[in-house]
Amino acid sequence: MKPAPRLAAIVAVLVAGSVVVLVAQQPPPTFGRRVDAVRVDVLVTDKGTPVTGLTAADFEVTDNGVTQQVELLAFDQLPLNVIMAFDISESTAGERLLQLQIGAPAVLGTLAGGDRAALLTFSDRVTLRRALTSDLATVRAAVNELSASGGTVLVDGAYSALMLAGSDSGRDLVIVFSDGLDTDSILTADRVLDTARRTEAVIYGVTAGSSGRIGFVKGLVDQTGGQSLEIPSAIDLQKTFAGIVDEFRRRYVLSFTPRGVSATGWHRLQVRVKGRRATVVARQGYTAG
């Protein structure tokens, strides 16, 4: 049986980047590369400023209500995999696309040896411009070649970005930029949100001129423990993108081996800092088994 025309188009576009049949056939990934450990990226802030200098003993993590013994990983030794998923639909033409091309290099400029980046765009179809690579010059060149046209497959684009994550070591950061309006996706928002629950990637969503249309992006962010950033103008993209990577590097990476809980099903996670008032942002849970 032949795939529907639009689905066939998505598959064809992604062949070169080996994301291929993932959109159509691959089941959602399961959280955690190791069956015996769970890893969680955690952002701790006090009045909006990241809190540094905490140790494993400062955290309390509960898995389905059961307190776990946590370790603090040396996150500075874990390379970053930064996946940029950009809306280049007709609504971004002109100044917004120009500012996007100015802002994206700010992400690449923050990366160090061992870090990698990927570029994926979406308009009325999804296109993998560069797969994850440490050759950042090629990613920068791909950004400069972008042009805007067509509708917006935001949901399909977010799913494809998630499929690029979780395939290797390191910490996966997905930056999704859009005006928040989807016009042409095949996949449902619920399916992609369910996929987000099952991966270790952290999603930061950036919307410019969204007029409040951020429901789907906000859902992705909440599921993965990221941040949703609404900016009034695309002129702020350069500062915003650089700030995202800087903040991500200040997050804590906690690890624990689940004890006293079921080996299957959805596990609700709660993370808090002991003995102080602080805002803690982390993924909502993980799927085991």
Cα–Cα distance, 126 to 118 (Å, whole number): 14
Residue with the bigger pLDDT between 271 and 73: it is: 271
User: What pLDDT is stored for residue 270 in this prediction?
Assistant: 97
The answer to whether 92 touches 152, Cβ cutoff 8 Å, is no
Percent of the chain with pLDDT over 90: 68
CATH 3.40.50.410 placement within the chain:
5-31+77-249
Q: From residue 277, how far is each of 47, 251, 269 by CA, in Å?
A: 10, 17, 19
- How many other CB atoms are found less than 10 A from the CB of residue 205? 27
**Region of poorest pLDDT, from 26-30, 42-46, 87-91:** 26-30
User: What pLDDT is stored for residue 212 in this prediction?
Assistant: 53
The answer to whether 172 touches 162, Cβ cutoff 8 Å, is no
- How much is the average pLDDT of 100-119? 93
Q: From residue 7, how far is each of 2, 115, 153, 188, 219 by CA, in Å?
A: 10, 32, 12, 13, 24
Q: Which helix (DSSP H) or strand (DSSP E) does residue 60 occupy?
A: strand 59-63
CATH superfamily, with its number, for domain 5-31+77-249: von Willebrand factor, type A domain (3.40.50.410)
Q: Which helix (DSSP H) or strand (DSSP E) does residue 6 occupy?
A: helix 5-14
Q: Which helix (DSSP H) or strand (DSSP E) does residue 139 occupy?
A: helix 136-144
6 pLDDT more than 50: no
User: What pLDDT is stored for residue 246 in this prediction?
Assistant: 93
**Region of poorest pLDDT, from 27-36, 183-192, 225-234:** 27-36
Per-residue model confidence as pLDDT tens digits over 126-160: 999 999 999 999 999 999 999 999 999 999 999 99
Per-residue model confidence as pLDDT tens digits over 170-220: 899 999 999 768 889 999 999 999 999 888 899 999 988 655 567 889 999
**Region of poorest pLDDT, from 86-90, 109-113, 164-168, 190-194:** 164-168
User: What pLDDT is stored for residue 289 in this prediction?
Assistant: 74
User: What pLDDT is stored for residue 199 in this prediction?
Assistant: 85
- How much is the average pLDDT of 227-248? 91
